[in-house]
């Protein structure tokens, strides 16, 4: 509830909002705490939530769990295991509102302008999964994880025009 409230404060009501930080042991259900709000926000606001995770196996597992156990099919991942054709099909589905949760590696997210993933859709949640890897394993693990904060700050400076047709970078 708090995650949805903070999202709506910042993206619907133009009020001040706060980031949400969650830490808990492995297996405690952290993923559900961002997946359920992302599903709700996707359905209610037609917004795309992006989950950044460093592990391809984790992407595959979470997408498969949502599809098989929750019967939720508006979820996908893009990583180096899929072909360019598959990536383009997924992006087309994202742009058409058929995908509401997209799992990406940090390198993928940082390699493109955010509009590449969003198209004309609204931005949903930005989830940095496995963030502890930055401090636990250091810069040598995945350098791009260190730049996610900077990237998110840049994305927050985007402004949408009244027709929500273009995303513009505001300095």
Q: Of the candidates 46, 63, 37, which has an alpha carbon nearest to the alpha carbon of residue 97?
A: 46
Whether the per-residue pLDDT at 41 is higher than 70: the answer is yes
- Structure-token pair, residue 93: 């589905």
Q: Is 96 exposed, middle or buried (0-12, 13-18, 19+ CB in 10 A)?
A: exposed
Phi, psi of 167 (to 5 degrees): -105, 130
Max Cα separation, the chain?
44
Token pair of 169 as six digits: 């970078």
Backbone torsions φ then ψ of 33, nearest 5 degrees: -70, -15
CA 158 – CA 126 distance, rounded (Å): 14
User: Strand 47-52 vs strand 122-128: parallel, antiparallel, or unpaired?
Assistant: parallel
Q: Is the pTM of this model over 0.85?
A: no
Distance CA 103, CA 74 (A): 11
The pLDDT assigned to 158 comes to 60
Residue 113 — pLDDT band, cuts 50, 70, 90? confident
pLDDT of amino acid 63 = 97
Q: Are 124 and 38 in contact (CB under 8 A)?
A: yes
Distance between CA atoms of residues 169 and 132, nearest Å: 30
Token readout for 42 is 């996707």
Each residue of 53-70: pLDDT tens digit? Answer: 888 898 999 999 999 999
pLDDT value for 132: 58
């Amino acid at each position: 509830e708090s995650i949805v409230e903070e999202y709506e404060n910042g993206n619907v009501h133009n009020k001040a909002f706060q980031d949400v930080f969650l830490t808990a042991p492995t297996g405690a259900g952290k993923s559900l705490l961002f997946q359920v709000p992302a599903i709700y926000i996707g359905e209610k606001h037609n917004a795309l939530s992006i989950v950044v995770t460093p592990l391809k196996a984790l992407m595959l597992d979470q997408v498969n769990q949502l599809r098989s156990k929750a019967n939720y099919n508006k979820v996908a991942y893009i990583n180096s295991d899929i072909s360019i054709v598959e990536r383009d099909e997924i992006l087309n589905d994202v742009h058409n509102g058929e995908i509401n949760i997209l799992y990406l590696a940090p390198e993928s997210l940082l390699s493109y302008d955010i509009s590449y993933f969003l198209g004309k859709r609204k931005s949903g949640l930005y989830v940095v999964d496995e963030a502890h890897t930055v401090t636990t394993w250091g810069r040598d693990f995945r350098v791009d994880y260190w730049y996610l904060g900077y990237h998110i700050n840049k994305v927050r400076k985007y402004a949408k025009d009244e027709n929500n047709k273009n995303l513009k970078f505001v300095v």
